[in-house]
Structure 1
Amino acid sequence: MEQLTIPTRHGRMALTRSGAGEPVLLLHGIPGSRDSWRDVVPLLCPDATVLVPDLLGFGASGRPRDLATLHARGQAEALADVLDALAVESVTVVGHDFGGPVGLMLTGRVPRRVVRLGLLATNAFPDTPVPFPLSLVRQPVVGRLLAPALFSRASLAAMLIAGVGRPRPRLDLGSHLGDRAQVRVVRTIFEGSLRELDALYAPVQRRLDQWTGPALVMWGDRDPFFATEQGHRTATTAGTTLTLLARAGHFLPEERPDEVAAAVRALLTAPLSFDPASPG
Protein backbone atom coordinates (compact mmCIF):
# COMPACT_ATOMS: atom_id res chain seq x y z
CA MET A 1 0.00 0.00 0.00
CA GLU A 2 1.38 3.39 -1.04
CA GLN A 3 0.75 6.52 1.01
CA LEU A 4 0.48 9.50 -1.34
CA THR A 5 -0.07 13.22 -0.94
CA ILE A 6 -1.15 15.09 -4.07
CA PRO A 7 -1.30 18.90 -4.36
CA THR A 8 -4.62 20.15 -5.74
CA ARG A 9 -6.09 23.56 -6.51
CA HIS A 10 -7.77 23.53 -3.08
CA GLY A 11 -4.96 22.05 -0.98
CA ARG A 12 -3.18 18.77 -0.50
CA MET A 13 -5.12 15.51 -0.66
CA ALA A 14 -3.80 12.40 1.08
CA LEU A 15 -4.68 8.95 -0.23
CA THR A 16 -3.61 5.35 -0.37
CA ARG A 17 -3.06 3.32 -3.53
CA SER A 18 -3.26 -0.47 -3.32
CA GLY A 19 -3.50 -3.45 -5.64
CA ALA A 20 -3.22 -3.76 -9.39
CA GLY A 21 -5.86 -3.63 -12.07
CA GLU A 22 -8.66 -1.31 -13.08
CA PRO A 23 -8.74 1.87 -10.95
CA VAL A 24 -11.44 2.19 -8.31
CA LEU A 25 -11.91 5.39 -6.31
CA LEU A 26 -13.58 4.92 -2.90
CA LEU A 27 -15.03 8.07 -1.30
CA HIS A 28 -15.91 8.21 2.39
CA GLY A 29 -18.80 9.96 4.10
CA ILE A 30 -18.99 12.42 6.97
CA PRO A 31 -18.04 12.23 9.72
CA GLY A 32 -15.36 9.90 8.42
CA SER A 33 -12.05 9.31 6.71
CA ARG A 34 -10.48 6.85 4.30
CA ASP A 35 -10.28 4.43 7.24
CA SER A 36 -14.00 3.79 6.71
CA TRP A 37 -12.99 1.54 3.78
CA ARG A 38 -10.27 -0.37 5.66
CA ASP A 39 -12.06 -3.74 5.49
CA VAL A 40 -13.19 -3.32 1.87
CA VAL A 41 -9.83 -2.43 0.31
CA PRO A 42 -8.08 -5.82 0.81
CA LEU A 43 -11.04 -7.57 -0.80
CA LEU A 44 -10.74 -5.45 -3.95
CA CYS A 45 -6.96 -5.40 -4.36
CA PRO A 46 -6.67 -8.68 -6.29
CA ASP A 47 -8.84 -7.21 -9.06
CA ALA A 48 -8.27 -3.46 -8.96
CA THR A 49 -6.01 -0.53 -8.21
CA VAL A 50 -7.83 0.93 -5.22
CA LEU A 51 -7.51 4.66 -4.54
CA VAL A 52 -8.84 5.83 -1.18
CA PRO A 53 -8.48 9.53 -0.36
CA ASP A 54 -9.18 11.54 2.72
CA LEU A 55 -11.49 14.22 1.39
CA LEU A 56 -10.38 17.81 1.91
CA GLY A 57 -10.66 18.74 5.58
CA PHE A 58 -10.55 15.12 6.76
CA GLY A 59 -7.88 12.73 7.97
CA ALA A 60 -4.44 13.61 6.65
CA SER A 61 -5.66 15.91 3.86
CA GLY A 62 -5.35 19.67 4.01
CA ARG A 63 -8.03 21.99 5.36
CA PRO A 64 -8.66 24.75 2.83
CA ARG A 65 -9.07 28.34 3.91
CA ASP A 66 -12.06 28.77 1.61
CA LEU A 67 -14.68 26.68 3.39
CA ALA A 68 -16.89 26.63 0.30
CA THR A 69 -14.44 24.20 -1.28
CA LEU A 70 -15.34 21.61 1.36
CA HIS A 71 -18.67 20.94 -0.35
CA ALA A 72 -19.16 18.41 -3.15
CA ARG A 73 -18.16 20.68 -6.05
CA GLY A 74 -14.84 21.70 -4.48
CA GLN A 75 -14.05 18.14 -3.45
CA ALA A 76 -14.72 16.95 -7.01
CA GLU A 77 -12.41 19.62 -8.41
CA ALA A 78 -9.63 18.44 -6.09
CA LEU A 79 -10.24 14.81 -7.03
CA ALA A 80 -10.01 15.69 -10.72
CA ASP A 81 -6.56 17.13 -9.98
CA VAL A 82 -5.63 13.88 -8.22
CA LEU A 83 -6.71 11.80 -11.22
CA ASP A 84 -4.65 14.06 -13.47
CA ALA A 85 -1.58 13.76 -11.24
CA LEU A 86 -1.86 9.96 -11.18
CA ALA A 87 -2.58 9.76 -14.93
CA VAL A 88 -5.83 7.86 -14.33
CA GLU A 89 -7.71 7.81 -17.63
CA SER A 90 -10.74 5.81 -16.52
CA VAL A 91 -12.06 5.02 -13.07
CA THR A 92 -14.95 3.40 -11.24
CA VAL A 93 -16.15 5.74 -8.50
CA VAL A 94 -17.91 4.45 -5.37
CA GLY A 95 -19.19 6.97 -2.84
CA HIS A 96 -20.75 6.39 0.56
CA ASP A 97 -22.86 9.09 2.27
CA PHE A 98 -21.26 12.48 1.39
CA GLY A 99 -18.97 10.59 -0.98
CA GLY A 100 -22.02 10.04 -3.21
CA PRO A 101 -22.58 13.72 -4.08
CA VAL A 102 -18.82 14.16 -4.44
CA GLY A 103 -18.66 11.25 -6.87
CA LEU A 104 -21.62 12.54 -8.84
CA MET A 105 -20.05 15.98 -9.16
CA LEU A 106 -16.86 14.28 -10.34
CA THR A 107 -18.83 12.67 -13.18
CA GLY A 108 -19.53 16.18 -14.42
CA ARG A 109 -15.97 17.37 -13.92
CA VAL A 110 -14.37 14.46 -15.86
CA PRO A 111 -17.38 12.89 -17.60
CA ARG A 112 -15.61 10.40 -19.86
CA ARG A 113 -13.19 9.22 -17.21
CA VAL A 114 -15.76 8.06 -14.66
CA VAL A 115 -16.97 4.88 -16.34
CA ARG A 116 -18.92 3.17 -13.54
CA LEU A 117 -20.67 4.58 -10.49
CA GLY A 118 -21.50 3.18 -7.05
CA LEU A 119 -23.74 5.03 -4.59
CA LEU A 120 -24.07 3.70 -1.04
CA ALA A 121 -26.54 5.13 1.50
CA THR A 122 -26.35 8.66 0.17
CA ASN A 123 -28.33 11.71 -0.89
CA ALA A 124 -28.55 13.10 -4.41
CA PHE A 125 -31.74 15.15 -4.16
CA PRO A 126 -32.42 18.71 -2.94
CA ASP A 127 -35.94 17.77 -1.79
CA THR A 128 -34.83 15.04 0.63
CA PRO A 129 -36.78 15.46 3.91
CA VAL A 130 -34.67 16.86 6.74
CA PRO A 131 -35.60 15.26 10.10
CA PHE A 132 -36.13 17.18 13.32
CA PRO A 133 -34.10 18.65 15.00
CA LEU A 134 -31.72 19.04 12.04
CA SER A 135 -34.49 20.88 10.20
CA LEU A 136 -34.09 23.70 12.71
CA VAL A 137 -30.68 24.49 11.23
CA ARG A 138 -32.50 25.88 8.19
CA GLN A 139 -34.01 28.61 10.38
CA PRO A 140 -31.75 31.69 10.17
CA VAL A 141 -31.61 32.67 13.85
CA VAL A 142 -32.53 29.46 15.67
CA GLY A 143 -30.26 27.42 13.44
CA ARG A 144 -27.16 29.44 14.24
CA LEU A 145 -27.89 29.17 17.94
CA LEU A 146 -28.46 25.40 17.88
CA ALA A 147 -25.77 24.35 15.40
CA PRO A 148 -22.87 24.22 17.91
CA ALA A 149 -24.82 21.76 20.08
CA LEU A 150 -26.27 19.74 17.20
CA PHE A 151 -22.85 19.23 15.65
CA SER A 152 -20.72 18.95 18.76
CA ARG A 153 -18.32 16.03 19.07
CA ALA A 154 -20.68 14.30 21.53
CA SER A 155 -23.69 14.77 19.24
CA LEU A 156 -21.79 13.47 16.22
CA ALA A 157 -20.62 10.43 18.21
CA ALA A 158 -24.24 9.70 19.17
CA MET A 159 -25.23 10.04 15.51
CA LEU A 160 -22.57 7.54 14.48
CA ILE A 161 -23.67 5.00 17.07
CA ALA A 162 -27.31 5.41 16.06
CA GLY A 163 -26.44 4.82 12.43
CA VAL A 164 -25.28 1.21 12.66
CA GLY A 165 -27.47 -1.84 12.25
CA ARG A 166 -27.23 -5.32 13.76
CA PRO A 167 -24.98 -6.93 14.70
CA ARG A 168 -23.02 -3.83 15.65
CA PRO A 169 -19.76 -3.53 13.70
CA ARG A 170 -16.44 -2.27 14.94
CA LEU A 171 -17.01 1.44 14.39
CA ASP A 172 -13.88 3.49 15.08
CA LEU A 173 -15.28 6.75 16.47
CA GLY A 174 -11.83 8.30 16.60
CA SER A 175 -11.17 7.90 12.88
CA HIS A 176 -14.64 9.16 12.03
CA LEU A 177 -14.53 12.25 14.23
CA GLY A 178 -10.85 13.20 14.13
CA ASP A 179 -9.67 16.25 16.03
CA ARG A 180 -11.49 19.48 16.89
CA ALA A 181 -10.60 21.01 13.55
CA GLN A 182 -12.19 18.07 11.72
CA VAL A 183 -15.34 18.37 13.83
CA ARG A 184 -15.53 22.02 12.70
CA VAL A 185 -15.21 20.85 9.10
CA VAL A 186 -18.10 18.41 9.59
CA ARG A 187 -20.20 21.18 11.09
CA THR A 188 -19.40 23.48 8.15
CA ILE A 189 -20.49 20.87 5.62
CA PHE A 190 -23.63 19.85 7.51
CA GLU A 191 -24.74 23.43 8.14
CA GLY A 192 -24.10 24.51 4.57
CA SER A 193 -25.84 21.47 3.13
CA LEU A 194 -28.91 21.96 5.30
CA ARG A 195 -29.19 25.70 4.69
CA GLU A 196 -28.49 25.56 0.96
CA LEU A 197 -29.99 22.23 -0.09
CA ASP A 198 -31.32 23.57 -3.39
CA ALA A 199 -28.15 25.37 -4.43
CA LEU A 200 -25.80 22.55 -3.45
CA TYR A 201 -27.85 19.49 -4.41
CA ALA A 202 -29.67 20.57 -7.58
CA PRO A 203 -26.40 20.12 -9.54
CA VAL A 204 -25.90 16.74 -7.84
CA GLN A 205 -29.32 15.56 -8.99
CA ARG A 206 -28.61 16.78 -12.52
CA ARG A 207 -25.49 14.61 -12.60
CA LEU A 208 -27.51 11.60 -11.46
CA ASP A 209 -30.23 12.35 -14.03
CA GLN A 210 -27.56 12.44 -16.75
CA TRP A 211 -25.79 9.23 -15.72
CA THR A 212 -26.09 6.45 -18.33
CA GLY A 213 -23.27 4.10 -17.36
CA PRO A 214 -23.24 0.99 -15.17
CA ALA A 215 -24.38 1.76 -11.64
CA LEU A 216 -24.55 0.17 -8.21
CA VAL A 217 -26.95 1.53 -5.59
CA MET A 218 -26.81 -0.11 -2.16
CA TRP A 219 -28.72 0.66 1.04
CA GLY A 220 -29.26 -0.78 4.50
CA ASP A 221 -32.87 -1.51 5.39
CA ARG A 222 -32.26 -0.01 8.86
CA ASP A 223 -30.59 3.20 7.73
CA PRO A 224 -31.93 5.88 10.12
CA PHE A 225 -30.74 8.79 7.95
CA PHE A 226 -31.82 7.93 4.40
CA ALA A 227 -35.01 5.92 4.00
CA THR A 228 -35.24 2.86 1.79
CA GLU A 229 -37.62 4.79 -0.48
CA GLN A 230 -34.78 7.18 -1.21
CA GLY A 231 -32.61 4.24 -2.16
CA HIS A 232 -35.23 3.04 -4.65
CA ARG A 233 -35.52 6.56 -6.07
CA THR A 234 -31.75 6.80 -6.44
CA ALA A 235 -31.54 3.41 -8.15
CA THR A 236 -34.41 4.16 -10.53
CA THR A 237 -32.84 7.48 -11.51
CA ALA A 238 -29.48 5.76 -12.05
CA GLY A 239 -31.11 3.13 -14.25
CA THR A 240 -30.53 0.17 -11.97
CA THR A 241 -32.20 -1.78 -9.16
CA LEU A 242 -31.58 -1.24 -5.47
CA THR A 243 -29.37 -3.68 -3.57
CA LEU A 244 -30.91 -3.71 -0.08
CA LEU A 245 -28.98 -5.25 2.81
CA ALA A 246 -31.12 -6.73 5.58
CA ARG A 247 -30.39 -5.65 9.16
CA ALA A 248 -27.82 -3.12 7.94
CA GLY A 249 -27.71 0.51 9.02
CA HIS A 250 -25.98 3.45 7.39
CA PHE A 251 -22.27 2.61 7.57
CA LEU A 252 -22.19 -0.14 4.96
CA PRO A 253 -18.42 -0.26 4.27
CA GLU A 254 -17.84 -1.01 7.95
CA GLU A 255 -20.96 -3.02 8.67
CA ARG A 256 -20.92 -5.22 5.55
CA PRO A 257 -17.48 -5.04 3.92
CA ASP A 258 -17.79 -8.47 2.29
CA GLU A 259 -21.06 -7.63 0.57
CA VAL A 260 -19.90 -4.16 -0.42
CA ALA A 261 -16.70 -5.55 -1.93
CA ALA A 262 -18.58 -8.29 -3.79
CA ALA A 263 -20.97 -5.71 -5.26
CA VAL A 264 -18.09 -3.47 -6.34
CA ARG A 265 -16.30 -6.42 -7.95
CA ALA A 266 -19.49 -7.22 -9.86
CA LEU A 267 -19.76 -3.58 -10.93
CA LEU A 268 -16.24 -3.77 -12.34
CA THR A 269 -17.35 -6.51 -14.73
CA ALA A 270 -20.30 -4.52 -16.10
CA PRO A 271 -19.83 -3.60 -19.77
CA LEU A 272 -19.26 0.08 -20.45
CA SER A 273 -21.81 2.20 -22.28
CA PHE A 274 -19.02 4.05 -24.12
CA ASP A 275 -15.31 3.78 -24.89
CA PRO A 276 -13.50 6.14 -22.50
CA ALA A 277 -10.58 6.36 -24.94
CA SER A 278 -12.77 7.76 -27.72
CA PRO A 279 -13.41 11.52 -28.00
CA GLY A 280 -16.60 12.75 -26.33
Structure 2
Amino acid sequence: MRHRIPSFNKKTYRHPHERYMPSLQRVSPHRTSIYKDYYSMEQGRLYTKVKVSIALVVVILLGQSIFQVPFFRIKHLRTQGLRYIPSENVEAFIVAELERRRFIFFKNNNYFLFAASRLADRLEDAFFVDVTSVEKKFPSELVVTVDERLSGFVVQTPDGYYALDTRGDTIGAVDHPLPSQSVIADERSDRSTALPIEYLELATTVKELWEQALPESLRIAAFHLSDEPDTMRITTTQGFEVRMSPAKDIGQQIGRLSIFLQETSLDAPREYVDLRFDENLYIR
Protein backbone atom coordinates (compact mmCIF):
# COMPACT_ATOMS: atom_id res chain seq x y z
CA MET A 1 0.00 0.00 0.00
CA ARG A 2 1.39 3.24 -1.00
CA HIS A 3 1.65 6.14 1.39
CA ARG A 4 0.64 9.41 -0.05
CA ILE A 5 3.09 12.18 0.70
CA PRO A 6 1.25 15.43 1.16
CA SER A 7 2.34 18.29 -1.00
CA PHE A 8 3.14 21.61 0.60
CA ASN A 9 1.96 24.87 -0.81
CA LYS A 10 4.82 27.30 -0.90
CA LYS A 11 2.56 30.22 -0.30
CA THR A 12 1.05 28.88 2.92
CA TYR A 13 3.78 26.68 4.39
CA ARG A 14 6.32 28.19 6.79
CA HIS A 15 8.98 26.31 8.68
CA PRO A 16 8.49 26.51 12.47
CA HIS A 17 11.85 28.19 12.99
CA GLU A 18 11.51 30.52 10.11
CA ARG A 19 11.21 34.21 11.05
CA TYR A 20 8.07 36.00 9.85
CA MET A 21 8.74 38.83 7.47
CA PRO A 22 5.71 40.88 6.46
CA SER A 23 5.31 41.48 2.82
CA LEU A 24 5.55 45.08 1.68
CA GLN A 25 3.02 46.44 -0.67
CA ARG A 26 3.87 49.15 -3.06
CA VAL A 27 2.00 52.45 -2.44
CA SER A 28 0.24 53.75 -5.45
CA PRO A 29 1.48 57.04 -6.95
CA HIS A 30 -1.94 58.63 -6.40
CA ARG A 31 -1.83 58.05 -2.63
CA THR A 32 1.71 59.37 -2.45
CA SER A 33 0.62 62.61 -4.07
CA ILE A 34 -2.20 62.99 -1.50
CA TYR A 35 0.28 62.64 1.38
CA LYS A 36 2.56 65.24 -0.16
CA ASP A 37 -0.32 67.68 -0.74
CA TYR A 38 -1.50 67.35 2.89
CA TYR A 39 1.90 68.12 4.39
CA SER A 40 2.48 70.98 1.99
CA MET A 41 -0.91 72.49 2.91
CA GLU A 42 -0.13 72.22 6.64
CA GLN A 43 3.19 73.96 6.10
CA GLY A 44 1.40 76.67 4.10
CA ARG A 45 -1.11 77.26 6.87
CA LEU A 46 1.63 77.53 9.48
CA TYR A 47 3.54 79.95 7.28
CA THR A 48 0.39 82.07 6.84
CA LYS A 49 -0.20 82.20 10.59
CA VAL A 50 3.38 83.34 11.17
CA LYS A 51 3.01 86.05 8.53
CA VAL A 52 -0.28 87.28 10.04
CA SER A 53 1.22 87.38 13.55
CA ILE A 54 4.22 89.36 12.33
CA ALA A 55 1.94 91.73 10.43
CA LEU A 56 -0.20 92.34 13.55
CA VAL A 57 2.88 93.13 15.61
CA VAL A 58 4.10 95.52 12.93
CA VAL A 59 0.69 97.23 12.74
CA ILE A 60 0.54 97.64 16.53
CA LEU A 61 4.05 99.06 16.70
CA LEU A 62 3.35 101.34 13.76
CA GLY A 63 0.06 102.48 15.31
CA GLN A 64 1.78 103.24 18.60
CA SER A 65 4.46 105.21 16.81
CA ILE A 66 1.83 107.28 14.93
CA PHE A 67 -0.99 107.60 17.46
CA GLN A 68 1.26 108.41 20.40
CA VAL A 69 3.38 111.05 18.72
CA PRO A 70 3.20 114.23 20.85
CA PHE A 71 2.70 116.31 17.70
CA PHE A 72 -0.79 114.78 17.22
CA ARG A 73 -1.76 114.97 20.88
CA ILE A 74 -4.63 117.37 21.71
CA LYS A 75 -3.06 119.93 24.04
CA HIS A 76 -5.01 123.14 23.41
CA LEU A 77 -8.62 123.29 24.60
CA ARG A 78 -11.19 126.05 24.15
CA THR A 79 -14.84 126.18 25.24
CA GLN A 80 -17.47 128.53 23.84
CA GLY A 81 -21.00 129.42 24.96
CA LEU A 82 -20.49 129.13 28.72
CA ARG A 83 -21.89 131.93 30.84
CA TYR A 84 -23.03 130.63 34.20
CA ILE A 85 -21.24 127.28 34.43
CA PRO A 86 -17.54 127.87 35.26
CA SER A 87 -15.41 127.10 32.22
CA GLU A 88 -12.67 125.56 34.39
CA ASN A 89 -15.13 122.88 35.57
CA VAL A 90 -16.06 121.94 32.01
CA GLU A 91 -12.45 122.01 30.80
CA ALA A 92 -11.31 119.80 33.68
CA PHE A 93 -13.99 117.28 32.70
CA ILE A 94 -12.88 117.35 29.04
CA VAL A 95 -9.23 116.84 30.02
CA ALA A 96 -10.24 113.77 32.02
CA GLU A 97 -12.13 112.46 28.98
CA LEU A 98 -9.07 112.94 26.78
CA GLU A 99 -7.09 110.69 29.13
CA ARG A 100 -9.52 107.79 28.69
CA ARG A 101 -8.35 104.72 26.75
CA ARG A 102 -9.18 104.04 23.11
CA PHE A 103 -8.73 100.56 21.61
CA ILE A 104 -6.90 99.42 24.79
CA PHE A 105 -3.47 100.64 23.70
CA PHE A 106 -4.13 104.31 22.94
CA LYS A 107 -5.55 107.42 24.60
CA ASN A 108 -8.48 109.54 23.53
CA ASN A 109 -6.27 112.62 23.24
CA ASN A 110 -4.89 111.68 19.82
CA TYR A 111 -6.09 113.90 16.97
CA PHE A 112 -7.04 110.93 14.78
CA LEU A 113 -8.55 108.68 17.46
CA PHE A 114 -10.50 111.30 19.43
CA ALA A 115 -14.17 110.25 19.92
CA ALA A 116 -16.16 113.48 19.51
CA SER A 117 -19.65 111.98 19.81
CA ARG A 118 -18.81 110.18 23.04
CA LEU A 119 -17.44 113.39 24.56
CA ALA A 120 -20.61 115.30 23.57
CA ASP A 121 -22.86 112.68 25.18
CA ARG A 122 -20.89 112.61 28.41
CA LEU A 123 -20.74 116.41 28.62
CA GLU A 124 -24.52 116.67 28.28
CA ASP A 125 -24.94 114.05 31.01
CA ALA A 126 -22.54 115.82 33.38
CA PHE A 127 -23.63 119.44 32.86
CA PHE A 128 -26.80 121.32 31.97
CA VAL A 129 -25.65 122.01 28.41
CA ASP A 130 -26.43 121.07 24.83
CA VAL A 131 -23.25 120.47 22.83
CA THR A 132 -23.68 122.18 19.46
CA SER A 133 -20.27 121.34 17.99
CA VAL A 134 -16.98 119.61 18.76
CA GLU A 135 -14.34 120.83 16.34
CA LYS A 136 -10.78 119.58 15.92
CA LYS A 137 -8.18 121.96 14.54
CA PHE A 138 -5.06 120.30 13.18
CA PRO A 139 -2.86 119.21 14.76
CA SER A 140 -3.59 119.64 18.48
CA GLU A 141 -6.53 121.96 19.23
CA LEU A 142 -10.07 121.16 20.32
CA VAL A 143 -12.95 123.68 20.35
CA VAL A 144 -16.18 122.72 22.14
CA THR A 145 -19.27 124.92 21.71
CA VAL A 146 -22.28 124.54 23.99
CA ASP A 147 -25.65 126.08 24.77
CA GLU A 148 -26.34 126.26 28.48
CA ARG A 149 -29.61 124.88 29.82
CA LEU A 150 -28.85 126.42 33.21
CA SER A 151 -30.40 129.82 33.86
CA GLY A 152 -28.58 132.74 35.45
CA PHE A 153 -30.65 132.45 38.63
CA VAL A 154 -31.17 130.29 41.66
CA VAL A 155 -34.32 130.58 43.75
CA GLN A 156 -34.00 131.09 47.48
CA THR A 157 -36.68 129.82 49.84
CA PRO A 158 -36.66 129.16 53.60
CA ASP A 159 -35.68 125.59 52.72
CA GLY A 160 -32.58 126.57 50.74
CA TYR A 161 -31.57 127.18 47.13
CA TYR A 162 -32.71 125.41 43.99
CA ALA A 163 -31.55 125.88 40.42
CA LEU A 164 -33.62 126.58 37.33
CA ASP A 165 -33.12 125.74 33.68
CA THR A 166 -33.61 128.26 30.89
CA ARG A 167 -37.32 127.43 30.72
CA GLY A 168 -37.85 128.20 34.39
CA ASP A 169 -38.26 124.56 35.39
CA THR A 170 -36.74 123.39 38.65
CA ILE A 171 -33.55 121.38 38.20
CA GLY A 172 -32.83 120.54 41.81
CA ALA A 173 -31.40 121.75 45.10
CA VAL A 174 -27.96 123.38 45.17
CA ASP A 175 -25.71 124.44 48.04
CA HIS A 176 -25.20 128.00 46.80
CA PRO A 177 -25.35 130.10 43.62
CA LEU A 178 -22.50 130.01 41.13
CA PRO A 179 -20.38 133.19 41.05
CA SER A 180 -22.12 134.47 37.90
CA GLN A 181 -25.64 133.61 39.02
CA SER A 182 -28.13 135.89 40.77
CA VAL A 183 -30.59 135.02 43.51
CA ILE A 184 -34.35 135.30 43.26
CA ALA A 185 -35.71 135.38 46.81
CA ASP A 186 -39.19 133.89 46.68
CA GLU A 187 -41.12 135.92 49.26
CA ARG A 188 -44.63 135.15 48.03
CA SER A 189 -47.25 134.09 50.54
CA ASP A 190 -48.00 131.04 48.37
CA ARG A 191 -44.80 129.37 47.13
CA SER A 192 -46.54 126.20 45.99
CA THR A 193 -46.94 127.60 42.46
CA ALA A 194 -44.08 127.68 40.02
CA LEU A 195 -41.96 130.75 39.43
CA PRO A 196 -43.73 132.88 36.79
CA ILE A 197 -41.83 132.65 33.50
CA GLU A 198 -42.65 136.35 32.87
CA TYR A 199 -40.78 137.31 36.04
CA LEU A 200 -37.80 135.17 35.04
CA GLU A 201 -37.69 136.84 31.60
CA LEU A 202 -37.94 140.30 33.18
CA ALA A 203 -35.18 139.50 35.68
CA THR A 204 -32.98 138.27 32.83
CA THR A 205 -33.46 141.57 30.98
CA VAL A 206 -32.71 143.61 34.09
CA LYS A 207 -29.59 141.55 34.84
CA GLU A 208 -28.18 141.93 31.30
CA LEU A 209 -28.80 145.68 31.09
CA TRP A 210 -27.56 146.23 34.64
CA GLU A 211 -24.22 144.50 33.97
CA GLN A 212 -23.75 146.51 30.77
CA ALA A 213 -24.58 149.98 32.16
CA LEU A 214 -23.52 149.99 35.81
CA PRO A 215 -20.08 149.71 37.42
CA GLU A 216 -18.74 146.38 38.60
CA SER A 217 -18.67 147.71 42.15
CA LEU A 218 -22.46 147.74 42.09
CA ARG A 219 -23.95 144.33 41.39
CA ILE A 220 -27.31 142.69 42.03
CA ALA A 221 -27.36 140.76 45.29
CA ALA A 222 -30.91 139.43 44.88
CA PHE A 223 -34.27 139.93 43.20
CA HIS A 224 -37.19 139.84 45.61
CA LEU A 225 -40.31 138.17 44.22
CA SER A 226 -43.31 139.26 46.29
CA ASP A 227 -47.06 139.56 45.95
CA GLU A 228 -46.68 143.13 44.61
CA PRO A 229 -47.01 142.82 40.81
CA ASP A 230 -46.31 146.52 40.14
CA THR A 231 -42.90 146.62 41.82
CA MET A 232 -39.64 144.79 41.20
CA ARG A 233 -37.38 145.05 44.24
CA ILE A 234 -33.65 144.49 43.88
CA THR A 235 -31.06 144.52 46.64
CA THR A 236 -27.51 145.51 45.66
CA THR A 237 -24.04 144.55 46.83
CA GLN A 238 -23.77 148.10 48.27
CA GLY A 239 -26.60 147.41 50.70
CA PHE A 240 -29.35 149.65 49.32
CA GLU A 241 -32.44 148.60 47.38
CA VAL A 242 -33.55 149.56 43.87
CA ARG A 243 -37.24 149.63 43.04
CA MET A 244 -38.34 149.38 39.42
CA SER A 245 -41.62 149.22 37.50
CA PRO A 246 -42.08 146.04 35.43
CA ALA A 247 -44.59 147.85 33.20
CA LYS A 248 -42.18 150.59 32.10
CA ASP A 249 -39.07 150.60 29.96
CA ILE A 250 -36.32 148.78 31.88
CA GLY A 251 -33.51 150.32 29.84
CA GLN A 252 -34.63 153.86 30.64
CA GLN A 253 -34.92 153.11 34.34
CA ILE A 254 -31.41 151.64 34.51
CA GLY A 255 -30.14 154.60 32.46
CA ARG A 256 -31.53 157.03 35.03
CA LEU A 257 -29.90 155.01 37.79
CA SER A 258 -26.57 155.13 35.95
CA ILE A 259 -26.76 158.93 35.56
CA PHE A 260 -27.68 159.31 39.22
CA LEU A 261 -24.69 157.21 40.33
CA GLN A 262 -22.32 159.23 38.15
CA GLU A 263 -23.50 162.48 39.74
CA THR A 264 -23.49 161.31 43.31
CA SER A 265 -21.71 158.90 45.63
CA LEU A 266 -22.76 155.34 46.27
CA ASP A 267 -22.98 156.31 49.90
CA ALA A 268 -25.85 158.74 49.16
CA PRO A 269 -28.76 156.21 49.14
CA ARG A 270 -28.99 154.64 52.57
CA GLU A 271 -32.12 152.60 52.07
CA TYR A 272 -33.46 152.63 48.50
CA VAL A 273 -33.59 154.30 45.07
CA ASP A 274 -37.06 154.37 43.54
CA LEU A 275 -37.15 154.48 39.70
CA ARG A 276 -40.85 153.78 39.16
CA PHE A 277 -42.03 157.31 38.52
CA ASP A 278 -40.93 158.32 35.02
CA GLU A 279 -38.41 161.18 35.15
CA ASN A 280 -38.59 161.51 38.90
CA LEU A 281 -36.19 159.59 41.08
CA TYR A 282 -36.62 159.15 44.79
CA ILE A 283 -33.95 158.15 47.24
CA ARG A 284 -33.92 157.57 50.95
TM over 0.5: no
Which range, TM-score by smaller chain? under 0.3
Which structure has more strand as a fraction of its residues?
Answer: 2
User: TM-score, normalized by length of structure 1?
Assistant: 0.22
Which structure has more helix as a fraction of its residues?
Answer: 1
- Flag the structure with larger Rg: 2
